[in-house]
Amino acid sequence: MGNLFCLVQVDQSTVAVKENFGKFDDVLEPGCHCVPWIFGRRIAGHLTLRIQQLDVKCETKTKDNVFVNVVASIQYRALVDKANDAFYRLSNTKAQIQAYVFDVIRASVPKLNLDDTFEQKNEIAKAVEKELEKAMSAYGYEIVQTLIVDIEPDERVKRAMNEINAAARLRMAATEKAEADKILQIKRAEGEAESKYLSGLGVARQRQAIVDGLRDSVLGFAVNVPGTTAKDVMDMVLVTQYFDTMKEIGSASKSSAVFIPHGPGAVRDVATQIRDGLLQGNAAS
State the CATH number of the domain containing residue 120. 3.30.479.30
Cα–Cα distance for residue pair 196/188, rounded to 1 Å: 12
* Mean pLDDT to the nearest integer, 115-137: 90
Cα–Cα distance for residue pair 155/188, rounded to 1 Å: 49
Q: What is the pLDDT of residue 269?
A: 67
Cα–Cα distance for residue pair 95/81, rounded to 1 Å: 23
Q: What is the pLDDT of residue 2?
A: 47
What is each CA distance from 168 to 66, 113, 153, 161, in whole angstroms?
21, 20, 20, 11
- The 3-class secondary structure across 168-200, one letter per residue, is HHHHHHHHHHHHHHHHHHHHHHHHHHHHHHHHH
What's the order of all strands across the beta sheet hosting 67-78? 52-61, 67-78, 141-153
Cα–Cα distance for residue pair 140/89, rounded to 1 Å: 9
Q: What is the pLDDT of residue 256?
A: 62
Q: What is the pLDDT of residue 70?
A: 92
Is residue 117 domain-resident? Answer: yes
Is residue 142 domain-resident? Answer: yes
Q: What is the pLDDT of residue 29?
A: 87
Is residue 171 domain-resident? Answer: no
Is residue 108 domain-resident? Answer: yes
Q: End of a domain among 153, 180, 202?
A: 153
* Claim to verify: residue 149 and residue 56 sit in the same structural domain: yes
Q: End of a domain among 126, 153, 180?
A: 153
Q: What is the pLDDT of residue 102?
A: 93
* Claim to verify: residue 117 and residue 64 sit in the same structural domain: yes
* Claim to verify: residue 135 and residue 83 sit in the same structural domain: yes
Is residue 148 domain-resident? Answer: yes
Residue 40, helix vs strand vs coil: coil
* Mean pLDDT to the nearest integer, 20-26: 86
For the ranges 49-53, 74-78, 152-156, which has the lowest average pLDDT? 152-156
* Claim to verify: residue 27 and residue 58 sit in the same structural domain: no
* Claim to verify: residue 61 and residue 149 sit in the same structural domain: yes
Is residue 213 domain-resident? Answer: no
Decide which of 147 and 268 is more confident.
147
Q: Which residues span the domain enclosing 43?
A: 7-48
For the ranges 133-147, 180-194, 223-237, which has the lowest average pLDDT? 223-237
pTM exceeding 0.95: no
Q: What is the pLDDT of residue 253?
A: 55
* Mean pLDDT to the nearest integer, 162-179: 82
Is residue 177 domain-resident? Answer: no
Q: End of a domain among 153, 178, 209?
A: 153
* Claim to verify: residue 135 and residue 56 sit in the same structural domain: yes
* Claim to verify: residue 35 and residue 77 sit in the same structural domain: no
Q: What is the pLDDT of residue 221?
A: 66
Q: What is the pLDDT of residue 228?
A: 66
Q: Classify residue 266 by its DSSP letter.
A: H
Q: What is the pLDDT of residue 104?
A: 92
* Claim to verify: residue 32 and residue 99 sit in the same structural domain: no
Query: pLDDT-based confidence at 1, cuts 50/70/90?
Result: very low
Which residues are 141's β-sheet partners? 78
Q: What is the pLDDT of residue 278?
A: 46
Is residue 203 domain-resident? Answer: no
Per-chain mean pLDDT for the chain:
80
pLDDT of 123 strictly over 70? yes
* Claim to verify: residue 61 and residue 148 sit in the same structural domain: yes
* Claim to verify: residue 56 and residue 149 sit in the same structural domain: yes
pLDDT of 208 strictly over 50? yes
Q: What is the pLDDT of residue 3?
A: 54
Query: pLDDT-based confidence at 73, cuts 50/70/90?
Result: very high
What is the count of structural domains for the chain? 3
* Claim to verify: residue 149 and residue 72 sit in the same structural domain: yes
Decide which of 164 and 143 is more confident.
143
* Mean pLDDT to the nearest integer, 176-189: 87
* Claim to verify: residue 76 and residue 148 sit in the same structural domain: yes
In the chain, the percentage of residues whose pLDDT exceeds 70 is 74
